[in-house]
Amino acid sequence: MSSTPFLSVRDLRVHFSTEDGMVKAVDGLSFDLAHGKTLGIVGESGSGKSVTNLAVLGLHHPDHTEVSGEILLDGQDLLTATERELERLRGNKMAMIFQDALASLSPYHSIGRQIGETYRKHTGASKRDARARAVEMLRKVGIPQPDLRVDDYPHQFSGGMRQRAMIAMALVCNPELLIADEPTTALDVTVQAQIMDLLKELQQETGTSIIFITHDLGVIADIADDVLVMYGGKCVERGTKQEVLRAPQHPYTWGLLGSMPTLEGDVDVPLSPIPGTPPSLLNPPTGCRFHPRCTFAEQVGGGRCAAEQPPLELVEGRGAACHLTGEQRARFSADRAAARAH
Amino acid sequence: MSSTTPLLDVAGLTKHFPIMGGFPIRRKIGAVQAVDGLDFSVAEGESLGLVGESGCGKSTTGRLITRLLEPTGGRISYRGKDISHASRRELAPIRSEIQMIFQDPYASLNPRQTVGKIISGPMEINDVNPPGGREKRVRELLETVGLNPEHYNRFPHEFSGGQRQRIGVARALALEPKLIVADEPVSALDVSIQAQVVNLLQKLQQELGIAFVFIAHDLAVVRHFSQRVAVMYLGRIVEIADRDELYGNPRHPYTRALLSAVPEVSPDDTPTRERIRLAGDVPSPVNPPSGCRFRTRCWKATDKCASETPPLARVDGSRAGHLTACHYPEAAGDPGEEIILDPGIAAAGSGTDTVVAKD
Amino acid sequence: MFRFLARRIVGAAVILLIISALVFVLFYTAPRDPARVACGKVCTPETLALVRKNLGIADPVPVQYWHWLQAVFVGRDYPSYGHCPAPCLGYSFQNREPVFGTIVDRFPTTLSLSIGSAVVFLIFGVGTGMLAAVKQGKSMDKIASSASLVGSSLQIYILGPVAMYFLTDQLHLLQRPTYTPFTQNPAAWFTGLLLPWLVLSVIFTANYTRMSRSQLVETLSEDYVRTARAKGLPRRTVFFRFAWRGAMGPIVTIFGLDLGVLLGGAIITEKTFSLQGIGALSVKAVATNDLPTLLGVVMVAAGAIVVLNIVVDAVYALIDPRVRLA
């Protein structure tokens, strides 16, 4: 935490031009990630969480995307880097795993070839060495009989095995940054638990920094060190996992927690959903983007929430973008916790 | 359950999908045993949850109950009347009482029809003329599900995912059903919207006394919604019990593994729940394991599990109505040790988490 | 693979059998009597009967069909022509030549026309399609898209004569279409067929441009293409190794169908360019009630289409490992 962070994103903006107008998918996002740590990014569809990470890898189509701000990976600005430089980093220093492993693996090439390809591209290894490395990686991620399965095609793998193969492919060059975009969402719970544990074990072994994108706060609680909550292309709350889950500060985070049924809560207490629907990024609400759905906007009063964007003020990496005073937040947060404990 | 006939009674329900192939003449060369001998019943106004992982047959079960599919074997009785092989005509009066809500709110609404048309569709087909006319009824229904009645003439694409699911609910309600089969009704929705729809369904269940078969893979959602829960694995029910019993005192190893795998929203790094990590995925329903179907992933399995199918029955220490299909049920109540069967996790682990098997 | 081939060959045989039976039935439901035509103006009932016997159409239709089938597999002895060896398709009612020989004679023309134009339109069509896909939304894409729309709305019997008039008669750029066997003089074969190839290609190229463009645009947006980029592979590698592979399957499938269209359309093509292939042969056979020739042509064309389809399916399985041949 003391030295410069491994990954530093400052005022990131990702805007898409579409036929209907400019979509501000990410609008002024900043965060840091230290070596060996895991940052969990939570948000619902359209919150900009995936878009952010494609921007880190530089995978947005330059023709209809405007990316601005600063993304420093180990001091190197990725937004000013050339395509060649990015190609050298992708799959090597930074890698990504995606939600839908079946769609994300090429159906036309064997698993071994797809893993080996990354290795060959970045190390110049021979075909033979790359294959051996692929077998080694498959063994590492827990694929039984890796020396036989290496020649299989993705469709011959089960869902969980495909996600393991994706992880093997992403980790083949020992990346320092791994971006995991909802890697377990499409999996069954028992398989999800396996994959999460695997990622944690592998991280301990390799010291990779992870950005873990999900909509599931339970998954965040399991894997993240720090949490960033996104809503409508902006960060609404940041802090360590303990801080955010124990004493959330933003009404949206309260809403998310209140919407989630748990295995422990009182079943007779109805869930407290967030009213309304997520904002349109084409015409986002004025002021705080959450205000049309926020039940606390009156507490702020004076129509401030609709008029003014609340800034994200951070104290030692902790804070929320909300017009409620610190005192109010603490009180409502405590009320909420008490209501849930019943 | 009372002594009166249950609303829905299912006995030995089986559905095998044939696999065609062979040479030179195509013939049946095998079967996907999607559902294989289910027994359960649903009382009037009750909500039964069906949980399980992909391929466990829960959706097929839903389609069998609504008779969108015809069972290969077994019996489905609705109010004591056998509907397992009922013809279209025989089903007509029952169809209006059993409705279905689907997972995908985008694909299950006709994009070329207005909301009014979609919701009044079931009334037209069944020639139902509510007092005050169909349009009035549709407007009432829109209001019931929390949509603006003014949206009568809009098209599905003008609504968000959660609103579309509400339209689906309104359509299911149009004929005043007694039983709704909800197949993953919230799994395609965002968390905040999910809760809205769950609350809506809960309100309907309580206020209108509609019975539900609630099919979902999310154990927490099912727990929230269903008074009784059945856990399915590879086409069979492995455990069925009242909510509190099932979640508080699971006796089947699979139920335990399933519950332990649900991530906890807890800020602490030390988990409060036991940790069971199964190896691999669910086997194929084409060639399911003999005997107990869970045995290939179970840490307690013996030869007996391979040769004898455990019956779904009450085991020692369970309350009445809590049935478990296992030769070696878990002890009542005790949180187990850590069980790691996954080779990847075990291999990558520091050595403390190596394979631990309880006997 | 073996099972696939076995199954498909059996299937093909059944299809061909059905087609041949159908042609027989259709032919005899037509009111004209080939014997009557062959008999000439002065025709006594006796001569008519004799002609019938000589043509081999004196027997009832099912018996005739049986003889025809036998001839294909084991040959047949004709009273007037003598023995006709195994793949015997009979003798033409019209010119008394063995049908099989005539077809062997004529088929290369049609095949050269079809294969040649296929090569041209595949190269041009898929090429421009790829360009358009890469330059998505830019002027190159728009030009290719509109050009292909114009191309696909043209018809061979309009474009053919127009092209011949300008390119041959006016500008003397290309030769008038003629057929010289490839084995005899490859250069003459090439120049003689260049005009029909180009004309045919204009029409088909358009389709392939549109299709390969849309296929490529679709595969370029696939998740696995994004994954390949996330692995650090350069855009070009991703394009050729991943996107292109995905787009190829559907193109191969359509290509298989189009080869059939080319063969079936040979009638119009050959008429337009005054070439003597099996298309022209079939027109004549119909006009003269020449059953053996007609049957022969239909069977050869159908056989070619069936075989091509088997080949296409096998190729598809090679491209896409998810397709299992069974």
Q: Which domains does chain B have, with CATH numbers?
A: 8-233 (3.40.50.300)
Q: What is the pLDDT of residue B1?
A: 44
Number of H helices, E strands in chain A: 14, 11
A161 lies in a domain?
Answer: yes
CB contact under 8 A, B24 and C7: yes
What's the confidence (pLDDT) of residue B337? 66
Is residue C64 predicted with pLDDT exceeding 70?
yes
Give the pLDDT confidence of B207-265 residue by residue, as tens digits. 999 999 999 999 999 999 999 999 999 999 999 999 999 999 999 999 999 999 998 88
Q: If you average pLDDT over residues A156-185, what whole number do you get? A: 93
Short-list A333, A125, A166, CA closest to A237: A333
Using DSSP, state whether A31 is helix, strand or coil.
strand
Minimal-distance CA residue of chain C relative to B21: C326
The residue segments making up the domain with residue A138 are 109-165
Q: Pick the residue from chain B with its C-alpha nearest to C10.
A: B24
The Cβ-side half-sphere exposure at C144, using a 13 Å CA radius, reads: 27
What is the reported pLDDT for B355? Answer: 40
Residue A76 lies in a domain: no
Q: Is B22 on the interface with C (CB under 8 A)?
A: no
Chain B nearest C-alpha distance from A337 (Å): 12
A314 or B26, greater pLDDT: A314
Query: Average pLDDT of B16-35?
Result: 82
Cβ-based neighbours of B104, under 8 Å, separated by 6 or more? B188
Question: Which residue, C255, C254, C265, C261, is CA-closest to C160?
Answer: C265
Q: Where are the domains of chain C?
A: 105-319
**Chain C residue at shortest CA distance from B22:** C326
Q: Which of residues 304-323 of C touch A (CB under 8 A)?
A: 319-322
CA dihedral A74, A80, A83, A89 (to 10 degrees): 0
**What is this structure's pTM?**
0.86
Minimal C-alpha gap between A163 and chain C (Å): 13
Mark which residues 211-240 of A lie under 8 Å from B by CB: 215-219, 221-222
Q: Do A189 and B258 touch (CB under 8 A)?
A: yes
Number of domains comprising chain A: 2
DSSP string, C201-222: HHHHHHHHHHHHHHHHHHHHTS
CA distance C95 to C310: 35
Closest Cα in chain A, distance from residue C316 (Å): 11
Rounded to a whole number of angstroms, the distance from the CA of A104 to the nearest CA of chain C is 4
Task: Note whether residue A296 is domain-resident.
Answer: yes
Residue A223 lies in a domain: no
CA distance A164 to A142: 8
Average of pLDDT values for A105-128? 95
DSSP line for A206-239 = H--EEEEEES-HHHHHHH-SEEEEEETTEEEEEE
| CB within 8 Å: C3 and B23 | yes
Asked whether residue B271 carries a pLDDT value surpassing 90, the answer given is: no
- Confirm whether A8 is domain-assigned: no
- From A140, A165, A190, the end of a domain falls on A165
CA nearest to A123 within chain C: C232
Mutation to test the B interface, candidates C7, C8, C14, C325, most B Cβ within 10 Å: C7
Residue among A189, A212, A282 with most chain B CBs within 10 A, to mutate: A189
C185 inside 8 A of chain A by CB: no
Q: Are strands B211-216 and B47-51 parallel, antiparallel or unpaired?
A: parallel
pLDDT digits (tens, 9 = 90+) for C97-156: 889 999 999 999 998 999 899 999 899 888 888 888 887 777 777 777 787 777 777 788
- C169 near A CB under 8 A: no
Q: Write down the ipTM of this complex.
A: 0.88
Q: Residues of A with CB below 8 A from B196's CB?
A: 273-275
In a domain, A274, yes or no: yes
Confidence of residue B311 (pLDDT cuts 50, 70, 90): very high
Mean pLDDT score of chain A, rounded to an integer?
91
Contacts of A104 in chain C (CB under 8 A): 223-224, 226-227
Q: What is the pLDDT of residues A126-152, one digit of tens each?
A: 999 999 999 999 999 989 899 999 999
CA distance A166 to chain C (A): 9
User: A164: which chain B residues are within 8 Å (Cβ-Cβ)?
Assistant: 344
Contacts of B24 in chain C (CB under 8 A): 6-7, 10
Shortest alpha-carbon distance between residue B261 and chain A (Å): 5
Under a CB-based contact definition with an 8 Å cutoff, are residues A89 and A118 in contact? no
Residues of B in contact with C326 (CB under 8 A): 21
- Which chain C residue shows the shortest CA-CA distance from A97? C227
Q: Is the Cβ pair B24, C10 closer than 8 Å?
A: yes
Contact between A108 and C246 using a beta-carbon 8 Å cutoff: yes
Return the percentage of chain A with pLDDT > 70, whole number: 98
Domain C105-319 has CATH 1.10.3720.10: yes
Average pLDDT taken over every residue of chain B:
87
